[in-house]
Structure 1
Amino acid sequence: MSEIPACPVCGMEHTYPDGSMYICPDCGHEWPQHAAVREERQQVVRDVHGNVLQSGDSVIVIKDLKVKGASVPLKQGTVIRNIRLVDGDVEHIEGHSDKIKDLVLKVCFLKKA
Structure 2
Amino acid sequence: MSSAPACPQCTLENTYADGALMICADCGFEWTAEEGDGSGVVVRDSNGNVLAAGDTVTVIKDLKVKGSSIPLKQGTVIRNIRLVEDDAEHIEGNSDKIKGLVLKTCFLKKA
The 4+ residue runs of structure 1 with deviation greater than 3 A are: 10-17
Distance change in 2, residues 1:63/1:24 (3 Å): same
Instruction: Give the AA of the match of 2:36.
Output: E
RMSD: 3.4
TM-score (normalizing by structure 2): 0.72
Answering whether residue 15 of structure 2 is matched by residue 39 of structure 1, we say no
More helix by share: 1
Gaps of 5+ in 2: 17-21
Q: Secondary structure at the match of 2:75?
A: coil
CA offset digits 1:73-100 (Å, max 9, x no partner): 1000000000001111111000010010
Residue of structure 2 in register with 1:54 after alignment: 52
Percent identity (aligned) = 62
Letter in 2 for 1:88: D
Q: Please say if residues 14 and 26 of structure 1, whose CA atoms lie closer than 8 Å, have aligned partners that are also in contact.
A: no
Per the alignment, in what secondary structure is the counterpart of residue 52 of structure 2? coil
Matches within 5 A, 1:1-113: 1=1, 5-6=6-7, 11=10, 15=14, 24=25, 39=36, 42=39, 43-113=41-111
Q: Where does the alignment leave 5 or more consecutive residues of structure 1 unmatched?
A: none
User: Distance in 2 between the 1:30 and 1:110 partners?
Assistant: 20
Q: Which residue of 1 aligns with 2:19?
A: none
**Residues 56 and 73 (structure 1 numbering): CA distance in 2 closer, same or farther, change over 3 Å?**
same
> Tell me, what secondary structure is at the counterpart of 1:94?
strand
